[in-house]
């Protein structure tokens, strides 16, 4: 077995665009669930809106790349408002049901033939990179060391993604130590108590839903930056990967989602490399293809174990957050 290749491939995931994109979206989920107590199971929908908003504005409307990002954020804002107005007055579990359905609706709308002109239906979108790469300040060439050797465009995606992640984390950090965050944490626990103190609970929940949704869209944009937009990516399992990441790191923490994403994707990449090799070497009694899927079973088991034994995640304070009140 080639351990060198395994470790090399795994190390690359430390700063892969996927890892960064998931981290950004997971921070959005932390705003929803960790701080606001909103059970959003539709993060895939927000990410899809970000990615498609970016790609369609560039391909169909010829907007510059940065305007595409703004369009993606606006799309997520509108989506959050549509979701929130009917459901935020209800109990939290209804939001969960509505969001999981709404995210599927979004995905199916992007997949359907009806909007083929804009979405290219099931084939997805690509070839929108010119603008973003044109803004790349890094001169042409390959840089880096060890396992982290990338071209200027690959670096530009990673650096841009990390910048967005930094801004998003900074915003959450500032918000959650402010009185605004205090109100939100109060709502998480008992909205009637907060209402009785004269706070407009609905407005706070809506702000939280929109903000987290916009972060989700930014995650979708970063996810789409290096490659293509494929509707099959934005399925419900994407949402549950994000939940695993969030709970792994700690739902009500600032850096939890970031570290959670890194750990999640490094382990996923490691298993993706190791398991097929083990199968090929006849150490595991399964076929190569089966081995590639086994890692998803590990995700499920990991989610279960976290929820049962460490509900506060790696960084969380057990006193501050458990799933059940």
Is 158 a residue that touches another protein (CB under 8 A)?
no
Site string for another protein, 205-244 (x = CB under 8 A): --x---x---------------------------------
**CA neighbours within 13 Å on the CB side: how many for 37?**
26
Sign of CA dihedral 128, 129, 134, 136: positive
- The interface with another protein within residues 249-308 (CB under 8 A) comprises none
Is 32 a residue that touches another protein (CB under 8 A)?
no
* DSSP string covering 39-75: ----HHHHHHHHHHHHHHHHHTT---HHHHHHHHHHH
CB of 246 to another protein, least distance (A): 18
Task: List the beta strands (DSSP E) in the chain.
Answer: 142-145, 148-151
Stretch that binds another protein, among 20-28, 97-105, 151-159, 182-190 (CB under 8 A): 182-190
Is the CB of 116 or the CB of 190 nearer to another protein? 190
Identify the residue among 109, 118, 195, 311 touching another protein (CB under 8 A).
195
**CA neighbours within 13 Å on the CB side: how many for 225?**
32
Residues whose CB falls within 8 Å of the CB of residue 58, separated by 6 or more in sequence, listed in order: 64, 65, 68, 128, 131
Is 319 a residue that touches another protein (CB under 8 A)?
yes
Q: Determine the Cα–Cα distance for residues 99 and 95; give it in Å rounded to an integer.
A: 6
Identify the residue among 43, 185, 221, 273 touching another protein (CB under 8 A).
185
Phi, psi of 310 (to 5 degrees): -145, 65
Two tokens at 249? Answer: 């790191």
# chain residues binding another protein, by CB under 8 A: 30
Stretch that binds another protein, among 9-17, 28-36, 159-167, 197-205 (CB under 8 A): 197-205
State whether residue 282 is helix, strand or coil.
Answer: coil
Is the CB of 199 or the CB of 295 nearer to another protein? 199
CB of 50 to another protein, least distance (A): 21
Q: What is the dihedral angle through the alpha carbons of 307, 308, 312, 318, rounded to the nearest 10 degrees?
A: 160
Is the CB of 242 or the CB of 254 nearer to another protein? 254
CB of 191 to another protein, least distance (A): 10
Is the CB of 31 or the CB of 58 nearer to another protein? 31
Number of H helices, E strands in the chain: 14, 2
CB of 174 to another protein, least distance (A): 5
Q: How many other C-beta atoms can be found within 10 angstroms of the C-beta atom of residue 114? A: 10
Stretch that binds another protein, among 22-30, 139-147, 187-195, 274-282 (CB under 8 A): 187-195
Is 189 a residue that touches another protein (CB under 8 A)?
yes
If you ran DSSP here, which 8-state letter would residue 229 be given? B
Stretch that binds another protein, among 101-109, 144-152, 175-183, 259-267 (CB under 8 A): 175-183
Burial of 53 (0-12, 13-18, 19+ CB in 10 A): buried
Is 199 a residue that touches another protein (CB under 8 A)?
yes
Binding site for another protein (CB under 8 A): 171, 174-175, 177-183, 185-186, 188-190, 192-201, 207, 211, 319-321
């Amino acid at each position: 077995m080639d351990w060198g290749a395994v470790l090399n491939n795994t190390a690359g995931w430390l700063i892969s665009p996927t890892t960064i994109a998931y981290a950004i979206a997971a921070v959005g989920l932390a705003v929803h669930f960790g701080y606001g107590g909103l059970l959003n199971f539709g993060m895939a929908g927000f990410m899809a809106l970000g990615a498609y908003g970016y790609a369609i504005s560039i391909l169909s409307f010829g907007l510059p790349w940065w305007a595409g990002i703004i369009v993606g954020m606006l799309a997520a804002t509108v989506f959050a408002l549509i979701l929130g107005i009917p459901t935020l007055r209800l109990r939290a579990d209804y939001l969960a049901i509505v969001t999981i359905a709404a995210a599927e609706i979004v995905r199916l709308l992007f997949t359907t033939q009806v909007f083929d002109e804009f979405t290219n239906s099931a084939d997805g979108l690509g070839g929108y990179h010119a603008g973003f790469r044109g803004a790349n300040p890094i001169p042409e060439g390959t840089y880096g060391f060890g396992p982290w050797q990338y071209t200027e465009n690959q670096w530009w995606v990673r650096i841009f993604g990390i910048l967005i992640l930094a801004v998003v984390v900074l915003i959450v950090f500032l918000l959650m130590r402010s009185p605004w965050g205090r109100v939100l944490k109060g709502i998480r626990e008992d909205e009637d108590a907060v209402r009785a103190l004269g706070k407009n609970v609905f407005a706070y929940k809506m702000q939280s839903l929109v903000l987290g949704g916009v972060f989700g869209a930014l995650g979708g944009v970063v996810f789409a930056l290096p490659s293509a937009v494929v509707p099959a990516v934005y399925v419900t399992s994407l949402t549950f990967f994000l939940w695993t990441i969030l709970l792994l790191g700690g739902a009500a923490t600032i850096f939890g989602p970031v570290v959670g994403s890194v750990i999640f994707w490094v382990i996923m990449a490691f298993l993706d490399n190791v398991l097929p090799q083990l199968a090929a070497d006849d150490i595991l009694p399964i076929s190569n293809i089966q081995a590639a899927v086994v890692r998803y079973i590990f995700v499920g088991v990991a989610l279960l174990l976290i929820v049962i034994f460490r509900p506060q995640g790696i960084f969380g304070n057990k006193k501050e957050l458990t799933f059940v009140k």
